[in-house]
Amino acid sequence: MANSDVSDHGWLLAPDPDREDLTRAVTGTDHEGRETHIRVVEERPLTIYLNSREIVTAMTIGDYPEYLALGFLRNQGMISAQDHVTSIDYDDEIATVVVRTAVVTDHEEKLSRKTRTSGCAVGTVFGDMMEGLEGLSLPATQVRTSDLYALAKAINTVPSLYLTAGAIHGTVLCQGARPLVYMEDVGRHNAVDKLSGWMALEGASAADKLLYTTGRLTSEMVIKTALMGIPVLVSRSGFTAWGVEIAQQVGLTLIGRMRGQRFICLSGKERLIWDADAKNVPDEPKTSGRKGGA
């Protein structure tokens, strides 16, 4: 769970960059030929089962496997809000999570074994995700620009693997100007799946939430956010054309390239409340970036 100093500032769950099993110490040589010692992010396979069917093997940093498994299955449309999950069992020795439902779903027989890649790969996309967008319309939740700036500052300064080790993506569930739950992983899709699993197990509402991510606003990120019922998606990074098109189709407010004073809204500008003067916000150099994040 979140450490105490972070919890005191309103976080429900935050990264733990000091957790030793999430990184490994390695020795290398820097650009001047000197020996250097750094910590790099771990990457482990996690196999997810739905009842008796093996669904996918995902590469992950290894924290919150139960959240990841449930969130992945929900975001892929394999488990709906109406399905009764009877248990989620994680076996650390064989790196396996089994999610069991009261009634066997029809998805087990649809799928063969698939491997979901890590990092910046597209990931595994199933047809049920696109089918779930039919008729979907998100609530027209308003967004204050003052909240956007406050969230960016809080998220970009909280201790995290993203800041200390790089080669990782962060995704944060927020409400107003308050960041609530921060998940990290080698793949941006894993991070958002963990948030989905947390929301499902905690019974958290989605209509008043905002999702902040360090990764690109791709079609899959937009689809996952929409299917979770979250009406606002914000990123430090940029967009893909299909991601923008889907966001406009379902009424998702889509804001990217948010760095310092700057951001670009490509969907939902009518829902922005301009209550902050950007001139009062410290800017970042246009060429700035964080190691391995986006």
Q: What is the pLDDT of residues 132-142, one digit of tens each?
A: 788 888 999 99
Q: Does 147 lie in the same domain as 115?
A: no
Q: Is residue 246 part of a domain?
A: yes
Q: Is residue 12 part of a domain?
A: no
Q: Is residue 67 part of a domain?
A: yes
Last residue of a domain, one of 121, 154, 177: 121
Q: Does 274 lie in the same domain as 163?
A: yes
Q: Does 275 lie in the same domain as 155?
A: yes
Closest CA to 63 of 195, 233, 165, 236: 195
Rg (the chain; Cα; Å): 19
Centre a 10 Å sphere on the Cβ of residue 251 and count the other Cβ atoms it contains: 17
Cβ atoms 51, 60 nearer than 8 A: no
Q: What local confidence, expressed as pLDDT, does residue 167 receive?
A: 83
Q: What local confidence, expressed as pLDDT, does residue 230 receive?
A: 97
pTM: predicted TM-score of the whole model, two decimal places: 0.86
Q: Is residue 128 part of a domain?
A: no
Q: Does 212 lie in the same domain as 113?
A: no
Centre a 10 Å sphere on the Cβ of residue 177 and count the other Cβ atoms it contains: 16
Q: Is residue 6 part of a domain?
A: no
Q: Is residue 134 part of a domain?
A: no
CATH code assigned at 220: 3.40.140.10
Q: Does 169 lie in the same domain as 114?
A: no
Q: Does 80 lie in the same domain as 48?
A: yes
Q: Does 163 lie in the same domain as 268?
A: yes
CATH code assigned at 51: 3.10.20.10
Q: Is residue 175 part of a domain?
A: yes
pLDDT digit string, tens, across residues 70-98: 999 998 888 888 899 999 999 999 999 99
pLDDT values of the chain reduced to their tens digit, one per residue, 294 residues: 444 344 445 799 999 998 989 999 999 999 999 999 998 999 999 999 999 899 999 999 999 999 999 999 998 888 888 899 999 999 999 999 999 999 877 665 555 444 444 444 344 444 556 667 888 889 999 999 999 999 999 999 999 998 888 889 999 999 999 999 999 999 888 999 999 999 999 999 999 999 999 989 999 899 999 999 999 999 999 999 999 999 999 999 999 999 999 999 999 999 999 999 988 888 876 544 444 444
What is the spatial distance between Cα 21 and Cα 16, in angstroms, rounded to a whole number? Answer: 11
C-alpha distance across the termini of the chain, in Å = 25
Q: Does 113 lie in the same domain as 52?
A: yes
Q: What local confidence, expressed as pLDDT, does residue 106 receive?
A: 66
Q: Does 59 lie in the same domain as 109?
A: yes
When divided into structural domains, the chain yields a total of 2
Q: What local confidence, expressed as pLDDT, does residue 100 receive?
A: 96
Q: Does 247 lie in the same domain as 183?
A: yes
Could you tell me which residues are beta bridge partners of residue 89?
98
Q: Is 32 exposed, middle or buried (0-12, 13-18, 19+ CB in 10 A)?
A: exposed
Q: What local confidence, expressed as pLDDT, does residue 286 receive?
A: 55
Q: Does 270 lie in the same domain as 161?
A: yes
Q: What local confidence, expressed as pLDDT, does residue 8 receive?
A: 46
Q: Does 216 lie in the same domain as 111?
A: no
Q: What local confidence, expressed as pLDDT, does residue 146 receive?
A: 97
Which range of residues forms the domain containing residue 59? 44-121
